[in-house]
Structure 1
Amino acid sequence: MKLAEVLAIIFTVIVFVFSIIKLKGFKLSVKSIVRIGLVAAITMVLYMIKLVPFPQGGGCSLLSILPIMMLSVMFGMEEGIICAVIVALIKIVIQPPYYPLQIPLDYFGSMIAVAFVPLFGVENKFKIILGAVFASIISILFSVFSGVIFFGQFAPKGTNVWVYSIGYNVLGYGVEALLSIVVLSILPLIHIKEAIKRGEIKR
């Protein structure tokens, strides 16, 4: 078994198991369902706006992962994970994978990882940004593994498949993730979250 396949399996199992543990005992309310549905819709609209389209469906979208990041920070990782799963399912329908085995990587793994922004806490901007960077790296790695495993044949002659996949995903999805982190760092999420707790802003 190739290195990329081994790493893909390990990452997928860890992310899926962690997500299941996080969701254990979590109960959806009417408000959370509305939030998740709204964020999923906004995510898909932004995803369809390709700033820089790449071959094979990749490229840089208009901050499509930012809404899930914000949802996770504001209302918890659990809502972010559920929203990510819904978005992944929608993507499968509107942009079917070239290969079925892409689904755990390019769709579920990559999207669910975006919801891990609150992993280090949300008490201050540093922790939020640290979590966003970590979540983005994990999300991009899923796409890199997929590129190495399934799309190596598209690499220019003489180019290492790892170099090709990393370049493809970092220059496309990676740029989008970076821009999303920058915007996330500017937004006053902590103040909004505190205002929600005080009841100044209705959920």
Structure 2
Amino acid sequence: MKVRLYTELAMAVALAIVLDIISKTLPIPRMLHGGSISLHMLPIFIVALRHGWKGGCLAGVMYGVVNFMMAPHIIHPIQVPLDYPIAFGLVGFAGWGPLKMGAEGRGAVLSARIRLVAGVMVGNGLRFLAHFSSGVIFWGQNAPPGQPVWLYSLIYNASYMVPETIITILFLQFLLSRSLLSRTMERGNS
């Protein structure tokens, strides 16, 4: 069973990288120091919703390491883990407890659609906090003169994370409505 799980995690990370590469070929605005609107977190969310927070966090950390190796933005040694494995690993909390798909049998009262939206918001919300913290601590020198560092980090990170969260939710809802995601979730929980 573990071999199957680890294979799925590796495939999700590979698909996330492919989605990230594809997004870089599209005419989508990119932030100067990293960050863009993309569906690259979609496979990580699916893993988290299928296998819970542990599988999701592991897939997120793996993606963060590979993402760093492909396109590093380094300003300080401590910033690297905060912006890469920690930030992307936190996405895995989309599959925490009652948010995990298939939780109905364990007394969960949330519908699949609500769990999906809540999971993506929790996962990307935690990721946002990691990037926001990194922005305040390490990237503050990029703030325009007179602008508080926290406001600069908030605007910078929200400008791509909010649209990415909305697009990810819409895409996952589409997959769920087509029963593609629900069948995948059922198989992951069996």
What is the TM-score with the length of structure 1 in the denominator? 0.75
Counterpart in the other structure of 2:60: 84
Counterpart in the other structure of 2:9: 36
Whether the 8 Å CA contact 1:99–1:150 is kept in 2: the answer is yes
1:164 to 147, 152, 155: 152
Whether the 8 Å CA contact 1:155–1:161 is kept in 2: the answer is yes
Q: Tell me the SS of whatever aligns to 1:158.
A: coil
Whether the 8 Å CA contact 1:40–1:83 is kept in 2: the answer is yes
- Write the deviation string for residues 13-46 of structure 1: whole angstroms up to 9, x where unpaired: xxxxxxxxxxxxxxx6221122111111111122
Whether the 8 Å CA contact 1:65–1:177 is kept in 2: the answer is no
Counterpart in the other structure of 1:52: 29
Q: List 4+ stretches of structure 1 deviating above 4 A.
A: none
What is the one-letter code of the residue matched to 2:77? P
Give the C-alpha shift of residue 78 in structure 1.
2.4
Give the C-alpha shift of residue 179 in structure 1.
1.0
Counterpart in the other structure of 1:23: none
Percent of pairs with identical residues: 28
What is the one-letter code of the residue matched to 1:167? I
Whether the 8 Å CA contact 1:36–1:79 is kept in 2: the answer is yes
Whether the 8 Å CA contact 2:50–2:95 is kept in 1: the answer is no
Counterpart in the other structure of 2:182: 190
Give the C-alpha shift of residue 69 in structure 1.
0.2
Unmatched 5+ stretches in structure 1: 1-27
1: distance between equivalents of 2:70 and 2:184?
34
Whether the 8 Å CA contact 2:128–2:157 is kept in 1: the answer is yes
Counterpart in the other structure of 1:181: 169
Give the C-alpha shift of residue 104 in structure 1.
2.8
Give the C-alpha shift of residue 82 in structure 1.
1.6
Counterpart in the other structure of 2:135: 147
- Write the deviation string for residues 56-99 of structure 1: whole angstroms up to 9, x where unpaired: 12222x21111100111123332222211211111222223222
Distance of aligned partners of 1:37 and 1:197 in 2 relative to their CA distance in 1, 3 Å threshold: closer
Q: Tell me the SS of whatever aligns to 2:145.
A: coil
2: distance between equivalents of 1:193 and 1:44?
22
What is the one-letter code of the residue matched to 1:47? D
> Given the alignment of the two structures, is residue 73 of structure 1 paired with residue 73 of structure 2, yes or no?
no
